[in-house]
Amino acid sequence: MLREAIYHRPKNNWCYAYDRQTVHVRIRTKRGDAERVTLLHGDKYNWHEIGHETTEMRVFAQDALFDYWQAEVRPAFRRLKYGFRLQAGRETLWLNEQGFHEQEPENPYLYFEYPFLNPADVFEPPAWVKDAVFYQIFPERFANGDPSNDPEGVLPWGGEPTPANFFGGDLQGVIDHLDHLERLGVNAIYFNPLFEATTNHKYDTEDYRKVDSHFGTNEKLKELVDACHARGIRVLLDAVFNHSGRTFAPFVDVLKKGQTSKYADWFHVRQFPLTVKEGIPTFDTFAFTEMMPKLNTENPDVQAYLLEVARYWIEEIGVDGWRLDVANEVDHRFWRKFRDVVKTAKPDAYILGEIWHDSLPWLSGDQFDAVMNYPLTEAILDFAVKGTRDGRQFADQLGSLLAAYPQQATEAAFNLLGSHDTARLLTLAGNDKRRVRLASAIQFTMPGTPCVYYGDEIGLDGGNDPGCRKCMEWDESKQDLELFGFFAGLTRLRRSHRALRDGSLRLLAAEPGRATLAYIREADGERFIVALNAGRRQAKLSLQATGEWSDALKGEPFRAERGKISVALPAYGFAVLKQG
Amino acid sequence: MLREAIYHRPKNNWCYAYDRQTVHVRIRTKRGDAERVTLLHGDKYNWHEIGHETTEMRVFAQDALFDYWQAEVRPAFRRLKYGFRLQAGRETLWLNEQGFHEQEPENPYLYFEYPFLNPADVFEPPAWVKDAVFYQIFPERFANGDPSNDPEGVLPWGGEPTPANFFGGDLQGVIDHLDHLERLGVNAIYFNPLFEATTNHKYDTEDYRKVDSHFGTNEKLKELVDACHARGIRVLLDAVFNHSGRTFAPFVDVLKKGQTSKYADWFHVRQFPLTVKEGIPTFDTFAFTEMMPKLNTENPDVQAYLLEVARYWIEEIGVDGWRLDVANEVDHRFWRKFRDVVKTAKPDAYILGEIWHDSLPWLSGDQFDAVMNYPLTEAILDFAVKGTRDGRQFADQLGSLLAAYPQQATEAAFNLLGSHDTARLLTLAGNDKRRVRLASAIQFTMPGTPCVYYGDEIGLDGGNDPGCRKCMEWDESKQDLELFGFFAGLTRLRRSHRALRDGSLRLLAAEPGRATLAYIREADGERFIVALNAGRRQAKLSLQATGEWSDALKGEPFRAERGKISVALPAYGFAVLKQG
């Protein structure tokens, strides 16, 4: 076996508490290299007296280079001492903290340790998240329910979006269209920022305690949240705590008074007075954006201010969690305090970080419940929309992602195919709705919570910002109602079957050079096969299966013969088959 | 290049802030595989506009399987986007977050990120630690300075230690012997527990707010701390927060009142009433030790109590930090709060965890400053004392340890060769003082703070507990004064030269099958060669060097000839050579 490929290190994604009783242990080997991996485990304080147990590990994920093995154990006294036995052919290796051994180490002391399963450290995302389907609303562009609060110079609904124009969307507009969301079947909304700010996107907060006057009032938001809750819809707000806007009163004070301002330490000023030299502000900002001064979240006053904001909207207005803008540029210490405040205010609040990259340092239970799962976005788009990744490459990328985080992080991941920060799915798909449906079918049959970006469900298109921030189309004659029906069907399907939400995921077919893929999702005795064809020609998949199956969306029956089921898929087609 | 061997993942020990300006980036390759590794780095928000920089990485550590490369960069705006270019022969590979590429990726978006260097997250152990030499005192056995506080049944000083007997050591005894410590040259004491408890080791705390009456009083400890500080000696206490003793008042209350006790939730009771069934207490304990009930550090009342204890001894008595007993079985959340309280009370307090294993999850700046470096203990003993590891294997183990943690953790590591929990060095060495000196020479020329276990410096021996807890020998005719002189010399040498404390460490010779090893330590233009012979025959090392050198302990001159210096070492001998 290739020793250089074998990797294990306690905690993080390799050995973690999945719940208050269960520890997951993982190890990585070169793909196809080890035939059997056994976890040897026991209590460090009676290893010799009681003896240790063995648990067979199974490959739960694979990527281009590696097999990832997992075992679940429930240590009687919450202490776990463990090592690995790896076998291939006639070769047997033992791995402990000191490395590889060709004989079983006699001394358990040098085995690995998960020292104690303390409940306080267990990473427990809210249980409702894996059962949710999210809908993202960019409020200025969703619906104008109250023309009386329109900003000056508002343009007629449906015009071309620019970085600076306004169309009058507001909270009343959302309230007016909750039926649309309910018909679509979503049960959670993620709102782009709602607080007072100067821009149409509101990422330049002026007042964190006040709904933007063009959107409505705090009372209106409470009315909206209550109306949502009455329909079983949860509400997530956008917390822009990395930076404020340039009209945020403390920043205005620093602009005016410089070093003598009592808010001078609320920001990261490299040099007074605040100015911009050759395109670079003399103070830290988001990117190099002068209008977005970075907040000093290490300053206790700033912390107290922002944490009170976090508490206020949950306790007073009733929101169900926060999406954190530019989350990875804010210090971990602040986020830990934030989590304490948020979870005290509402124990099952959802904390969702905007991180586009590998996010392990935020996903250990002390900071976020999940991140916006852009790596999955990329993988799905590459396979189903752009055609730059074949079935095997897509499967490898999925495997990488499954192995990258604790399982509960995967189950609570926020899976999106587009947002206010990307081109829209339909546009990326070259307006080919088959590809939109294919990508969405994958999204809705993955672990993690899917999110529909407003309008995608009725065929809205648009390139990168500002194109992706068009006004929602409310004229039914201009909506793609068939597409809406498709999305509503997907939502219904996912919400009806736990197997599609947090069931196990196992690949059934993923071959290099082919644009097809199939995987099984399974829970509580229910089993689904998801079969995909991202190719531009029809494809026939012959998949290992037994018994009776039916297309879960179309009802058509399938019967396995001689241990195989045959699924014919049109170009960019897919099928979700349910056993029985 | 062997792709399966290459490893990098942001944060932890792979990409971390070394200080408020500097980020260290590391990558692992198969040993001897890559010839050149280049870090490509820039600011994510102007990668294209400004262009990125390149920094050559260097191999800073090696172990049996891998080369570990490091580069240090100082990102102008504290944001770092980076990737790797790896070269061997005619092969060039680029590595980014998505894996390997045979062409340079055009899109920097998929490069790795260290998103923002926030000072709050920088891991900054106290600067004094790397300049310290510690001395560990087991107080019941160091010196009896006040017979009036002796426990009942005290035995004459110098008798055979048993798990339960008492010899009357106390704080006055320490005060009386501070001259000894000063002559030895140590400048920090780590005390085993001092608080009221029933045993001789005091790991079963009865009262966390009170010095054990057989050791003295809180005032006496303050007198001791003040006396130490006056001599430039810092004082570290033992915090036994994982568990209390069975006479701890809240536990006594639970024993008596069971579920109705107001302290019922201060412990982890699996079943009332508290009892022991077939050797297993019905409540969680340290190991299965009935007299050490595990504290529920998730209970806010317990937290408030213990955190006040942490504060009290620092603020009121003046101690300089805490060694944390059984540190890895207590929840991370508690330790984060503990760090806040301790660092608020004394910003340069030292927080030292007792963890015998890989300790990365505690060494990221949010919890401990260091751990008791038992893996180094094992490595040194195997090489220099037991002879079970050759020069190359020892070097590989050192390399593993250097790569395992952020550099500042290595610099603040607590390097010990024995403690109250192990057999004594002299006994492990089969009473061969040459081996004691050899092992100690390594310990004193390593990064991290060395600690001398009381009595080792004058030739005390003893096997595992209770043997290692003998009374200190104060009769000079029975002390090995030559050994004392040796230790005093090592201490003086280390304290006189920064190169030996936190200078760079580079291996000069480490060959498989040979019991010799040499390494260079260097800082501020000062350079040392440490040459070791752990073999039972004399050995001649021919080491790459130029210019004039001298033995730093004995003064003897050495001159390099034709680019080599020749060092003859007796069996179990060593030399520390200083350039110039």
| A11/B46 touch (CB, cutoff 8 Å), yes or no | no
User: Which residue of A lies nearest to B47 if distances are taken between CA atoms?
Assistant: A287
| B112/A357 touch (CB, cutoff 8 Å), yes or no | yes
Which residues of chain B are within 8 Å of residue A99 when distances are taken between CB atoms? 64
Angle at which helix B300-315 crosses helix B332-345, to 10 degrees, equals: 30
Nearest to B298 among A46, A109, A118 (CB): A118
Tokens 């609040």, located at residue:
A349
Instruction: Please tell me whether residue A333 adopts helix, strand or coil conformation.
Output: helix
The pLDDT of residue A406: 98
In 3-state terms chain B splits into helix, strand, coil percentages (rounded to 5) of 30, 30, 40
| A120/B330 touch (CB, cutoff 8 Å), yes or no | no
Q: Which residues of A does the annotation mark as catalytic?
A: 325, 354
As a whole number of Å, the CA-based R_g of chain B is 26
* Distance in angstroms (rounded) separating the CA atoms of residues A273 and A275: 6
Nearest to A333 among B2, B12, B120 (CB): B120
Instruction: Please tell me whether residue B445 adopts helix, strand or coil conformation.
Output: coil
How far is C-alpha A216 from the chain's CA centre?
29
Q: Under a CB-based contact definition with an 8 Å cutoff, are residues B480 and B487 in contact?
A: no
For chain A, list residues with pLDDT below 50. none
Give the closest residue to A491 by CA, choosing from A530, A440, A526. A440
Q: Which of B68, B118, B242, B243 to mutate to test the interface with A (most CBs of A within 10 A)?
A: B118
Nearest to B46 among A118, A119, A288 (CB): A288
| A120/B287 touch (CB, cutoff 8 Å), yes or no | no
Give the closest residue to B368 by CA, choosing from B384, B386, B349, B387. B349
DSSP H stretches of helix in A27-76: 47-50
C-alpha neighbours within 13 Å on the C-beta side of residue A458:
19
User: Which residue of B lies nearest to A340 if distances are taken between CA atoms?
Assistant: B333
Cβ partners under 8 Å of residue A526, min gap 6: A497, A498, A499, A503, A578, A579
Which residues of chain B are within 8 Å of residue A121 when distances are taken between CB atoms? 331-333
User: For the stretch A464-479, what's the b/e string if a residue is b when 16 or more beta carbons lie within 10 angstroms of its beta carbon?
Assistant: eebebbbbbbbeeeeb
In 3-state terms chain A splits into helix, strand, coil percentages (rounded to 5) of 30, 30, 40
Which residues of chain B are within 8 Å of residue A285 when distances are taken between CB atoms? none
Nearest to A11 among B329, B355, B361 (CB): B361
Which residues of chain A are within 8 Å of residue B288 when distances are taken between CB atoms? 45-46
Distance from CA of B13 to the nearest CA of A (A): 12
Instruction: Please tell me whether residue A337 adopts helix, strand or coil conformation.
Output: helix
Nearest to B121 among A30, A332, A357 (CB): A332
| B361/A119 touch (CB, cutoff 8 Å), yes or no | no
| B115/A333 touch (CB, cutoff 8 Å), yes or no | no
**Adjacent-strand bridge partners of A509:** A518
Q: Under a CB-based contact definition with an 8 Å cutoff, are residues B376 and B445 in contact?
A: no
Provide the edge-to-edge strand list for the sheet that holds B526-533. B504-509, B516-523, B526-533, B574-579, B548-551, B557-559
| A331/B121 touch (CB, cutoff 8 Å), yes or no | yes
Q: Under a CB-based contact definition with an 8 Å cutoff, are residues A443 and A435 in contact?
A: no
Which residues of chain B are within 8 Å of residue A287 when distances are taken between CB atoms? 45
Distance from CA of B119 to the nearest CA of A (A): 8
| A361/B10 touch (CB, cutoff 8 Å), yes or no | yes
Q: Under a CB-based contact definition with an 8 Å cutoff, are residues A324 and A367 in contact?
A: no
User: Which residue of A lies nearest to B365 if distances are taken between CA atoms?
Assistant: A333
Tokens 């269209």, located at residue:
A177
Q: In this structure, are strands A414-416 and A112-114 parallel, antiparallel, or unpaired?
A: unpaired
Phi, psi of B235 (to 5 degrees): -130, 125
DSSP H stretches of helix in A346-421: 374-380, 391-404, 407-411
Q: Which residues of B does the annotation mark as catalytic?
A: 325, 354
User: Which residue of B lies nearest to A110 if distances are taken between CA atoms?
Assistant: B357
Distance from CA of B182 to the nearest CA of A (A): 37
Distance from CA of B28 to the nearest CA of A (A): 10
Which residues of chain A are within 8 Å of residue B118 when distances are taken between CB atoms? 297-298, 329-333
Q: In this structure, are strands B504-509 and B188-191 parallel, antiparallel, or unpaired?
A: unpaired
Listed as own residue / partner, the contacts of B225-232 with beta carbons closer than 8 Å and 24 or more positions apart are: B225/B317, B225/B318, B225/B319, B226/B318, B227/B175, B227/B178, B228/B178, B228/B189, B229/B318, B231/B178, B231/B181, B231/B182, B232/B187
| B97/A357 touch (CB, cutoff 8 Å), yes or no | yes
Say how many CB pairs under 8 Å bridge A and B. Answer: 122
Which residues of chain A are within 8 Å of residue B271 when distances are taken between CB atoms? none
| B118/A298 touch (CB, cutoff 8 Å), yes or no | yes
| B328/A119 touch (CB, cutoff 8 Å), yes or no | no
Q: Under a CB-based contact definition with an 8 Å cutoff, are residues B450 and B456 in contact?
A: no
What ipTM, to 2 d.p.? 0.96
Which residues of chain B are within 8 Å of residue A64 when distances are taken between CB atoms? 99
The pLDDT of residue B453: 98
Which residues of chain A are within 8 Å of residue B45 when distances are taken between CB atoms? 287-288
| B357/A97 touch (CB, cutoff 8 Å), yes or no | yes
Distance from CA of A9 to the nearest CA of B (A): 8
Both structure tokens of A178 = 């909750």
DSSP H stretches of helix in B208-362: 218-230, 249-257, 300-315, 332-345
Q: Which domains does chain A have, with CATH numbers?
A: 3-121 (2.60.40.10), 243-294 (3.90.400.10), 500-579 (2.60.40.1180)
Distance from CA of B361 to the nearest CA of A (A): 7
Nearest to B331 among A79, A112, A120 (CB): A120
C-alpha neighbours within 13 Å on the C-beta side of residue B119:
7
Which residues of chain A are within 8 Å of residue B287 when distances are taken between CB atoms? 45
Q: Which of B116, B285, B288 to mutate to test the interface with A (most CBs of A within 10 A)?
A: B116
Q: Which of B4, B82, B117 to mutate to test the interface with A (most CBs of A within 10 A)?
A: B4
Both structure tokens of A559 = 């019967």
* Distance in angstroms (rounded) separating the CA atoms of residues B527 and B563: 16
Cβ partners under 8 Å of residue B219, min gap 6: none
* Distance in angstroms (rounded) separating the CA atoms of residues A267 and A296: 5
| A329/B10 touch (CB, cutoff 8 Å), yes or no | no
| A115/B331 touch (CB, cutoff 8 Å), yes or no | no
| A358/B10 touch (CB, cutoff 8 Å), yes or no | yes
Handedness of CA B444, B486, B353, A73 (dihedral sign): positive
Cβ partners under 8 Å of residue A413, min gap 6: A370, A371, A373, A376, A405, A447, A448, A449
What are the Cα distances from residue A108, in Å, to A44, B232, B280, B420?
8, 42, 21, 21
Distance from CA of B116 to the nearest CA of A (A): 5
Nearest to A2 among B4, B45, B366 (CB): B4
| B332/A3 touch (CB, cutoff 8 Å), yes or no | no
Which residues of chain B are within 8 Å of residue A386 when distances are taken between CB atoms? none
Provide the residue-wise pLDDT of chain B in tens; the chain has 580 residues.
999 999 999 999 999 999 999 999 999 999 999 999 999 999 999 887 778 999 999 999 999 999 999 999 999 999 999 999 999 999 999 999 999 999 999 888 889 999 999 999 999 999 999 999 999 999 999 999 999 999 999 999 999 999 999 999 999 999 999 999 999 999 999 999 999 999 999 999 999 999 999 999 999 999 999 999 999 999 999 999 999 999 999 999 999 999 999 999 999 999 999 999 999 999 999 999 999 999 999 999 999 999 999 999 999 999 999 999 999 999 999 999 999 999 999 999 999 999 999 999 999 999 999 999 999 999 999 999 999 999 999 999 999 999 999 999 999 999 999 999 999 999 999 999 999 999 999 999 999 999 999 999 999 999 999 999 999 999 999 999 999 999 999 999 999 999 999 999 999 989 999 999 999 999 999 999 999 999 999 999 999 999 999 999 999 999 999 999 999 999 999 999 999 8
Distance from CA of A402 to the nearest CA of B (A): 14
Distance from CA of B11 to the nearest CA of A (A): 7
pTM, rounded to two decimals: 0.97
Give the closest residue to B444 by CA, choosing from B131, B234, B128. B131
The pLDDT of residue B318: 98
The pLDDT of residue A509: 86
